[in-house]
């Protein structure tokens, strides 16, 4: 995961999935999502993948925000997928307070 992706998840309050190698379903820490690094079964964390579909949804959210506020959308620049992704995420940062709820819904599967 890149630094900008990690910053994106933290900025928008998107929590990572905690890996637990304990297959027991009766582990209270696992079921409560409070598993810690100190636990012998803790196996790390994983943030959601920012897929091409999610990037398109983020573009749609940004476009709607700009349209609703009579603003011009910033042109996405880049010649590689990673450069375009960085540009989209940067635009999201600039508009965080206006689009935070919609972005969170994308990662909750509700958009």
Model confidence over 3-38: pLDDT tens digits?
999 999 999 999 887 777 776 666 776 666 667 777
Confidence band (pLDDT; 50, 70, 90) for 70?
confident
Output the pLDDT for position 3. Answer: 93
Output the pLDDT for position 95. Answer: 94
Burial class (CB in 10 A: 0-12, 13-18, 19+), 58: buried
Please, are residues 46 and 74 in contact by the beta-carbon 8 Å criterion?
A: no
Output the pLDDT for position 101. Answer: 96
Output the pLDDT for position 75. Answer: 73
Residue 30 and residue 21: Cα distance in Å, rounded?
10
Residues 49-67 pLDDT 10s: 999 999 999 999 999 998 8
Residue 6 φ/ψ, nearest 5 degrees: -60, -45
If one compares 39 and 108, the residue with the highest pLDDT of the two is 108
Residue 19 and residue 67: Cα distance in Å, rounded?
40
């Amino acid at each position: 995961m890149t630094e900008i992706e990690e910053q994106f998840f933290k900025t928008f309050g998107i929590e990572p999935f905690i890996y637990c190698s304990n297959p027991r379903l009766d582990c209270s820490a696992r079921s409560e999502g409070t598993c810690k690094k100190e636990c012998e079964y803790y196996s790390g964390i994983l943030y959601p993948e920012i897929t091409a579909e999610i990037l398109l949804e983020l573009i749609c959210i940004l476009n709607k925000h700009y349209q609703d506020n009579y603003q011009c959308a910033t042109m996405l620049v880049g010649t590689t997928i990673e450069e375009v992704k960085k540009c989209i995420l940067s635009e999201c940062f600039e508009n965080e307070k206006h689009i935070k709820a919609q972005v969170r819904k994308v990662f909750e599967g509700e958009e």
